[in-house]
Amino acid sequence: MTFSWKTVALFLLTLAVLLLCMMMLRAFLAAIVGAVVLAVATQGPFRWLRRKVRNATGAATIALSITTISVIVPGLFLGGIVAQYALNISKMLRNGTVAKGLVDAVDHHPLLVSIMQESSNFLAWTKAAEKAGAFLTSQLVALLSNSAAAVTQTIIMLFLLFFLYRDGEAALDFLYKLLPLEGAEARTLVKGVEETIRATFLGHFVVAAIQGLVAGIIFAVLGVGDAALLGLLTAIAAIIPYFGAFVVWLPVAVYLGLNGHWMKAIILMVIGTLVISTLDNFLYPILVGAQLRQHSAIIFLALLGGVWLFGISGLILGPVIFSMMASLLTIWHARNHAPEFTGSA
């Protein structure tokens, strides 16, 4: 097959323009991914609504309003509570409250005194607490200072979500025409992407709920007050990007230590580090891999690679790209072996 110079030039020009578009849209990657994820995750309810409301714009407006009220607003509100909670704890670390608690604990626990003296690092412990507080505060202040950017991303996400609701079917038809695949092949690829997005989205919430449940049980066993509420906060913190379950259990451990319950504090620190905060690393690949019929190791690598390349959006994009690769390889294999199967059918 021969190509004219015009065909080659058109290909190169198209490729260059696509790369420029990708560079421009990279700043809004989180908003784009968020809109697509919400559109796919709420696809079933929206289709039911679309059957009830014949006007596409009206149905999209209702769906966007419901999604905003039930998902976006509570998410921003709870995220603000967790952020303020973590900021208060970091201030306690900085202003010497933790250091004072360590000194008081040492005064009332001779065994702890001997341990400190043998290690000869007590002063380093108090300095470490202050440094940890300073670091945590700087990170939280930097995160909260980006609230304007977060609001902008949220507005863009909702804007895109409206058009995905209203014009989703037309967009899919246009995508099918662009893909260099047959009709059945294109539908297989798109279906695989949708299933991956839905599985990763729901898997994230399921794992966060399990982390919150385990944390709540541990809090209750250790006799911590409001264990159920703290477990709920742990689940919320595990869901929110850039946070994690440690935002809740670590301050609780500090609180227990400051009140003289050092054994409980140590137990919570160990369980929090080895169990609560690491559950997602094990459960997420297993749950998502089972739903996608992929090996857990592949999902784990997809998550790590996705986060490394795309940031927090990689939690979705990593598995999606691997799913697309698997679908395309399956299509390629089917095309190359089609004559064998056709002859035996």
Q: Which two tokens stand for residue 294?
A: 């992929």
Please compute the mean of the pLDDT values over residues 318-341 and round it to a whole number. 79
Residue 107: per-residue pLDDT: 55
What distance in Å separates the CA atoms of residue 101 and residue 295, rounded to the nearest whole number?
48
Where is the domain boundary, 153, 178, 203? 178
Say if residue 157 is in the same domain as residue 221: no
Same domain, yes or no: 152 and 187: no
- Tell me the average pLDDT across 82-94: 62
Q: Looking at the structure, do residues 71 and 169 belong to the same domain, yes or no?
A: yes
Same domain for 168 and 36, yes or no, is yes
Average pLDDT of 186-190?
87
Q: Are 205 and 323 in the same domain?
A: yes
Same domain, 64 and 170: yes
Give the residue from 145, 178, 211 where a domain finishes. Answer: 178
pLDDT band of 124, cuts 50, 70, 90: very low
- 227 shares a domain with 126: no
Question: Using one digit for the tens of pLDDT, what is the confidence trace for 230-266?
Answer: 898 888 888 876 667 887 888 888 778 777 787 888 8
Tokens describing residue 67: 């999604």
Asked whether residue 135 falls in the same domain as residue 38, the answer is yes
Percent of the chain at pLDDT exceeding 90:
12
Task: Name the residue with higher pLDDT: 221 or 112.
Answer: 221
User: Does the pLDDT at position 129 exceed 50?
Assistant: no
In a domain, residue 100? The reply is: yes
Do 112 and 261 touch, CB atoms closer than 8 A?
A: no
- Select from 344, 343, 345, 303 the least CA-distant residue to 323: 303
Whether residues 204 and 309 fall in one domain: yes
Tokens of 90: 């970091």
Q: Is pLDDT above 90 for 162?
A: yes
Residue 340, in any domain of the structure: no
- 113 in a structural domain: yes
Q: Is residue 343 part of a domain?
A: no
Return the structure tokens found at 41.
């995750």
* Sign of the CA dihedral running 187, 192, 196, 198: positive
What value does the mean pLDDT of the chain take? Answer: 77
In this structure, the answer to whether residues 133 and 225 fall within a common structural domain is no
Question: Is 227 in the same domain as 281?
Answer: yes
Which range marks the domain in which residue 185 is found? 181-335
How many domains does one find in the chain? 2
68 shares a domain with 115: yes
**Is 87 within a domain?**
yes
Note the pLDDT of residue 123: 42
